[in-house]
């Protein structure tokens, strides 16, 4: 019964969806979720629509209904995209669309969404999103037949995942690395036995590493995915007893959970196990029993595998007509996959060329904006930080120092009689003096020390983790350095000196510290200039 546009009734239906899902009634839960999703869209209840869409999509995934996943994903995508705060959920949606599109051999859709996910992860630097997005792109290439590129991309994904303190991310990447190595094995099993064997050994290692993280995963679907892949890899490695135990246990859990797509894939592995154990009749019967269901669900990857396994079982039994029919079906699906792959890659090449041009323009614009921001925080003449940079960065640094009771000293440095220098020698030479002063001060400080030009001839020096006695010594050394510099190189008879006011924390607040140093500078000027005066804490 429809609830129309009543938000309260819609939320009550979502609560029922949750109850049914927790009870394992996935199909009724998904039916309720889809109805609520579409009613919320019709009623323009954006928030409820997103929640219903996410619930619906999660159930599509568990049921392995990839056709529905693309349909629901197309409805959910613009609604999530409009919510910047839910960027990660949007990334998850893009990646699931990739997997569904790959299963249906819709490689144009898969590649477009995989690349969108990767671009978003790079545009908003996020190793978590990058790892998961590269994994989806790698899976896309593997399903298109390029397991080599798929494995390369997933190894990049794992490097990013290791920078993320989130077991879920590493588990997903490792499980997909196992799957892509299995895909590589299928490509090589009758072509290069050595490489095929190495691929399966890597698959087992990845699956075992992913399996170790399963106790941290709340959703039992993850364990079915991982154990199903591990069982399949053990089968191809010839470890039949271990494979049998793993696969039968995973199949039971998959059926109990109602995970149709995984159930079909694991059942296919068990049929291949029967073939490996010398029971081709049973294997053939189990494989052919899956055909109609898998074909109706448009599970292309599993369907290709089924036909390949049926061919081998029928050939073992000497049933040449059945073997030939399976081989022809397999080759037809492979040709269709290859055609769709080439078309998708060709279309994507044109699209990506244009996208790359736009991306480069966007990067250039970002760099210009960053340069403008940097210039706004830099003194154009000396290249030092300016007052704005000091006011933006220093309070946070002082707060950290205050929490740890670390010593801090702030000095205000002013050139003596600078107006007289400008009047006698001109402003151009005055600018050269300022540049030289900046160079002399910077040369006498550590890299971590703060130096900024905050006025015409006024500079600020901030020393962290420096005792008051040592700070006094450093500033005195800078004053002598300027006093003893050969200024006659710039103009005959030119002499330049500094007056310095110095204050030590506490206080650790910028304005009071600056005011005390400025007060000490005023005293230095009043006492005859070319000297350093320390202001004691109040």
Q: Which residues are catalytic?
A: 457
**Are 208 and 227 spatial neighbours (Cβ–Cβ below 8 Å)?**
no
Phi, psi (degrees; rounded to nearest 5) at 386: -110, -175
Nearest CA-CA partner of 271 in 300, 314, 224: 314
Ordered alpha helix ranges (H), 212-299: 220-236, 240-257, 260-276, 280-296
Residues 320, 313: Cα–Cα separation, whole Å: 10
CA-based end-to-end distance of the chain: 76
Residues 94, 508: Cα–Cα separation, whole Å: 48
Helices (H) and strands (E) in the chain, counts: 21, 5
Q: Are strands 408-415 and 450-453 parallel, antiparallel or unpaired?
A: unpaired
Residues 502, 533: Cα–Cα separation, whole Å: 6
Query: Distance of CA 151 to CAs 167, 349, 510, Å?
Result: 20, 21, 53
SS3 415: strand
Q: In what order do the strands lie in the sheet with 450-453?
A: 450-453, 458-464, 408-415, 498-504, 532-535
Residues 519, 526: Cα–Cα separation, whole Å: 11
Q: Are strands 532-535 and 498-504 parallel, antiparallel or unpaired?
A: parallel
Residues 250, 513: Cα–Cα separation, whole Å: 67
Residue 476 token pair:
């005195």
Query: Distance of CA 298 to CAs 65, 68, 105, 328, 339, Å?
Result: 9, 11, 9, 18, 17
Give the side-chain half-sphere CA count within 13 A for 427.
Answer: 2
SS3 164: coil
Whether the ω angle into residue 506 lies within 30 degrees of 0, i.e. cis, is yes
Residue tagged 């896309």 (tokens)? 140
DSSP state of 537: P
Residue 4: left if φ>0, alpha if ψ -120 to 50, beta else—which one? left
Residue 306 token pair:
């089924």
């Amino acid at each position: 019964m429809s609830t129309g546009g009543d938000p309260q009734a819609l939320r009550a239906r979502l609560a029922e969806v949750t109850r049914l899902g927790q009870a394992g009634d996935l199909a009724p839960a998904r039916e309720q979720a889809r109805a609520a999703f579409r009613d919320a869209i019709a009623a323009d209840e954006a928030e409820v629509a997103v929640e219903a869409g996410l619930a619906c999509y999660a159930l599509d995934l568990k049921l392995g209904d990839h056709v529905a996943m693309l349909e629901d994903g197309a409805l959910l995508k613009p609604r999530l995209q409009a919510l910047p705060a839910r960027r990660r959920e949007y990334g998850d949606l893009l990646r699931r669309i990739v997997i569904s599109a790959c299963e249906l051999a819709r490689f144009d859709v898969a590649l477009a969404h995989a690349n969108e996910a990767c671009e978003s992860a790079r545009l908003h630097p996020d190793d978590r999103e990058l790892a998961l997005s590269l994994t989806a792109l790698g899976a896309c290439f593997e399903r298109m037949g390029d397991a080599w590129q798929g494995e390369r991309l997933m190894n990049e994904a794992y490097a990013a995942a290791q920078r993320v303190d989130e077991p879920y991310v590493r588990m997903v990447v490792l499980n997909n690395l196992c799957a892509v190595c299995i895909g590589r094995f299928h490509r090589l099993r009758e072509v290069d036995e050595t490489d095929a064997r190495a691929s399966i050994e890597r698959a087992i290692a990845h699956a075992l590493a992913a399996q170790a993280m399963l106790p941290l995963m709340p959703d039992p679907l993850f364990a079915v995915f991982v154990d199903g892949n591990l069982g399949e890899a053990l089968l191809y490695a010839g470890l039949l007893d271990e494979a049998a135990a793993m696969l039968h246990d995973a199949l039971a859990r998959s059926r109990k959970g109602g995970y149709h797509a995984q159930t079909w894939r694991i059942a296919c592995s068990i049929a291949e196990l029967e073939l490996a154990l010398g029971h081709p009749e049973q294997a053939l019967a189990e494989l052919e029993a899956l055909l109609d269901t898998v074909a109706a669900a448009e599970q292309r990857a599993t369907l290709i595998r089924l036909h390949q396994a049926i061919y081998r079982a029928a050939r073992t039994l000497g049933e040449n007509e059945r073997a030939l029919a399976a081989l022809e079906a397999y080759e037809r699906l492979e040709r269709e996959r290859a055609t769709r792959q080439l078309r998708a890659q060709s279309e994507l090449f044109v699209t990506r060329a244009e996208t790359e041009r736009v991306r480069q323009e966007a990067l250039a614009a970002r760099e210009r904006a960053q340069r403008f921001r940097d210039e706004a925080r830099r003194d154009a003449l000396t290249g030092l930080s300016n007052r704005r940079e000091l006011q933006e960065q220093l309070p946070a640094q002082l707060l950290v120092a205050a929490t740890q009771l670390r010593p801090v000293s702030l000095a205000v440095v002013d050139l003596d009689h600078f107006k007289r220098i400008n009047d006698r020698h001109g402003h151009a030479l005055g600018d050269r003096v300022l540049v030289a002063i900046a160079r002399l001060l910077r040369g006498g400080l550590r890299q971590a020390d703060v130096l900024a030009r905050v006025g015409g001839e006024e500079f600020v020096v901030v020393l962290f983790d420096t005792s008051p006695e040592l700070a006094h010594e450093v500033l005195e050394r800078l004053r002598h350095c300027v006093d003893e510099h050969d200024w006659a190189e710039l103009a005959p008879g030119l002499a330049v000196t500094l007056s310095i006011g110095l204050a030590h924390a506490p206080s650790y607040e910028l304005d009071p510290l600056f005011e005390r140093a400025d007060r000490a500078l005023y005293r230095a000027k009043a006492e005859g200039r070319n000297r350093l005066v320390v202001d004691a804490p109040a």
